[in-house]
Amino acid sequence: MGIDFRLDGKLALITGATRGLGWAIARTFAEHGAEVALNSRTPADCEGRAEELTAAGHLALACPFDVADLDACATAVRGLENRHGGVDILVNNAGVIHRESLPAFSDADWARVIDIDLNAAFSLSRESARGMTAKGWGRIINIASIMALVARPTIPAYVAAKHGLAGLTKALAVELAPEGVTVNAINPGYFATELNAALIADPEFDAMVKSRTPVGRWGDPDELAGAALYLASNAGGYVNGALLTVDGGMTAAL
């Protein structure tokens, strides 16, 4: 039979899908046969990316909503079920980071990061899992971070959320696997995306990343999309509860 990386006939909902890692994943999934539902808070961005994919002969639709609004998450998943037969592959990619010293870190900033980076993943996974288990097949992929394994100063909410996302991945993996649904996480290292533009432009930070990463460079988003494709496809069907780190070796080095 060979190794099957195709996603034909599958509907993939990808949050934060209009730029960076999310866009690379969405484009790769579409190129391998999936219909992709592109999410962000901005309808025009979702529609523009969907048009870009359909113009290239792929299947795509705009799915704008704010992942911090848990009611909107549930409504979006129900809408995809009613109009498109339900979500087969969920990629919880949307995320934010807030940098501040601990004494100045506000409750509101803490709550915002936790809501977007962790609570939304739980809500969307719960809603999507209902349809997946009914069909006996599904994939949930959480985009965590190397900050699910280690930590840096001034980002306590982000580190806590990503550690929580790693735990959520394992909890859902053991619960949903008997129903035909696998749940895994990817821990990206430092990738050259719009989100990291300011860090890339900072000579000191750029040098730190390159010197501490054994491959000596920032990652390309397509290098993460390949890992997501593997976990989403039948090729990765026996991978469950895994935290796949894609960081050029940074967390392997002392």
Q: Active-site residues: which are they?
A: 158
Strand boundaries in 79-180, DSSP class E: 89-92, 138-143
Give the pairing type, strands 11-14 and 35-38: parallel
Residues 102 and 90: their CA atoms lie apart, in Å, by 33
| CA atoms lying within 13 Å on the CB side of residue 194 | 11
Instruction: Confirm if 233 and 138 have CB atoms less than 8 A apart.
Output: no
Query: What number of helices (H) and strands (E) belong to the chain?
Result: 9, 7
Query: H-type helices in the chain, by residue range?
Result: 20-31, 43-55, 70-84, 107-114, 120-135, 156-176, 197-201, 203-212, 221-232
In sequence order, the 6+-apart residues with CB closer than 8 A to the CB of 69 are: none
Residues 90 and 172: their CA atoms lie apart, in Å, by 13
Give the pairing type, strands 89-92 and 181-188: unpaired
Residue 243's H or E segment, with its range, is strand 243-246
Residues 88 and 196: their CA atoms lie apart, in Å, by 30
